[in-house]
Structure 1
Amino acid sequence: MVENTFDLIKHTFEESIPLHKFLGLEIMELDNSFVKIRVPFKKELVGDFRTNRWHGGIIATIMDSVGGVIGATHFTSMEDKISTIDLRVDYLKGAEPIEVIVVGKIVRMGNRILVAKMKAFQNDELIAEGKGVYNFVRMNNEKTEDEGDEIRGD
């Protein structure tokens, strides 16, 4: 049984999205402006068989998922929707065959647009950073009290 909204989000993103389930995506921390996700290494995620490193597209996918998770914390109903408008990832180092931790935070939350920044780490070393812009649609057209034009975070 789901205890609260964050538990529902955690369960939905970990268990109900087939790609996340395949990846073994685990939400480690979650609040309405921050998320921390862990994804274990699997050989199916290798992009370069010579070095056994992660495929960069998988890292980008995880970072995009972080934006979706953090956006879901602002849903006012199960009918609300979030979709990616733009995603930029800067790869700083090849990802070794160990788990990846991705953190994300909201930079701006407007009426229809959410901007999030994400960072990917291995053993506390930054391997990629990015920014996602998301279209946010509330089906009941309600605004939450924390929405507006102010910039949140850094």
Structure 2
Amino acid sequence: MLQNNLQLIKTTFEETIPMHKFLGLKIELLEKNFVRISVPFRKELVGDFRNNRWHGGVIATVMDSVGGVIGATHFTSLNDKIATIDLRVDYLRGAEPEAIMVEGKIIRFGNRILVARMKAFQNDKLIAEGKGVYNFIRMNTHSEEEADNNN
């Protein structure tokens, strides 16, 4: 079931969520507990018009989305839910007018709380890092192992 879920997650996050479509978000690599997403630069995303740099809020939005994507790799039902509790982003350098890559991985997964660490890069240079805490609500009683074994 996991492999089918990964394709469903990719399609949903790239093509169904309006914000992701607007940003041009593309999932480059998706595994359980890890995702790498690329976002192309567009002039509509500029926050520092003097230097033509990305708006920090866009980077934070992508990081938050990354946390949601990796949380979804644990879904056992289409009714499972994930919601952001807290998001922290540290901006380390200005983002130049070119694509960014954002990676995320789960660092803690409990009964109802998920913690993810995210990093944003341009040309392999770290531009921001963040941590997200998410409320994870499983809407069925099947474990992930049972869901994987059923398909």
Fold match by TM threshold 0.5:
yes
**SS of the residue 1:4 aligns to:** helix
Q: What does residue 57 of structure 1 align with?
A: 57
State the Cα distance separating 1:48 from its structure 2 match.
1.1
Deviation at 1:143, TM superposition (A): 3.8
Mapped partners of 2:131, 2:87: distance in 1: 6
Please show how residues 112-151 of structure 1 align to structure 2 within 5 Å: 112-144=112-144
What is the aligned partner in structure 2 of residue 41 from structure 1? 41
User: When you count helix as a share of all residues, which structure comes out higher?
Assistant: 2
Give the counterpart letter for 2:100 in structure 1: V
Q: Which runs of 5+ in 1 are unaligned?
A: 146-154
The root-mean-square deviation of aligned C-alpha atoms, in Å, is: 1.0
Give 1:87's aligned residue. Answer: 87
Structure 1 CA distance for aligned equivalents of residues 91 and 142 of structure 2: 37
| Alpha-carbon distance between aligned partners in 1 of 2:142 and 2:93, rounded to the nearest angstrom | 42
The answer (yes or no) to whether the contact 1:111–1:143 under 8 Å persists in 2 is no
> AA paired with 1:115?
V
Q: In structure 2, how many angstroms separate the alpha carbons of the residues matched to 1:113 and 1:6?
A: 21
Q: CA deviation at 1:142?
A: 3.6
1:122 deviates by 0.2
CA positional deviation for 1:4: 1.4
Q: How many residues align?
A: 143
SS of the residue 1:15 aligns to: helix
TM-score normalised to the size of structure 1?
Answer: 0.90
- Determine what percentage of the aligned residue pairs are the same residue: 74
Distance in structure 2 (CA, Å) of the matches to 1:126 and 1:143: 36
Cross-structure match for 1:8: 8
Letter in structure 1 aligned against 2:69: V
Alpha-carbon distance between aligned partners in 2 of 1:28 and 1:39, rounded to the nearest angstrom:
10
